Amino acid sequence: MSDIILKGDKNGFSVIIGVNANYVDAFKELKEMIMQQNVKSTNEDDDVINFTVKTGNRLLNDQQKDDIRELFEKYPQLELKGIETDVESKDEVNKAMKKIQTTVESGIVRSGQKLTYEGDLIFLGTLHRDAQICATGSIYILGEVNGVVQAGYPNNTNAAILGNLQNVDQLRIADVIEIVTDDNRKDFQNGKFAFIDDMHSISLENLTNYKDRLNDLKKRTG
Give the pLDDT band (50/70/90) at residue 186: confident
The CA-atom distances, in angstroms, between 198 and each of 35, 171, 195, 212 are 56, 17, 10, 15
Measured in degrees and rounded to the nearest 5, phi and psi for residue 164 equal -85, 95
Extents of the domains making up the chain: 4-87, 93-220
Q: What's the whole-number mean pLDDT along residues 1-24?
A: 80
Q: What letter does residue 18 receive in the DSSP assignment?
A: P
pLDDT at 98 over 90: no
Residue count of the chain: 222
Measured in degrees and rounded to the nearest 5, phi and psi for residue 29 equal -65, -40
Interval 142-157: pLDDT, tens: 999 999 999 999 999 9
- pLDDT for 132: 97
Q: Tell me the whole-structure pTM to 2 decimals.
A: 0.56
In this structure, whether the domain defined by 93-220 belongs to CATH 2.160.20.70 is answered with yes
How far, in Å, CA of 146 to CA of 170, rounded?
8
- Burial of 15 by CB count in 10 Å (0-12 exposed, 13-18 middle, 19+ buried)? buried
The CA-atom distances, in angstroms, between 141 and each of 50, 61, 118, 123, 217 are 53, 42, 16, 5, 20
In this structure, whether the domain defined by 4-87 belongs to CATH 1.10.3470 is answered with no
Measured in degrees and rounded to the nearest 5, phi and psi for residue 198 equal -65, -20
- pLDDT for 88: 59
- pLDDT for 87: 63
Interval 62-86: pLDDT, tens: 888 899 999 888 888 888 888 888 7
pLDDT at 216 over 80: no
Measured in degrees and rounded to the nearest 5, phi and psi for residue 169 equal -90, -35
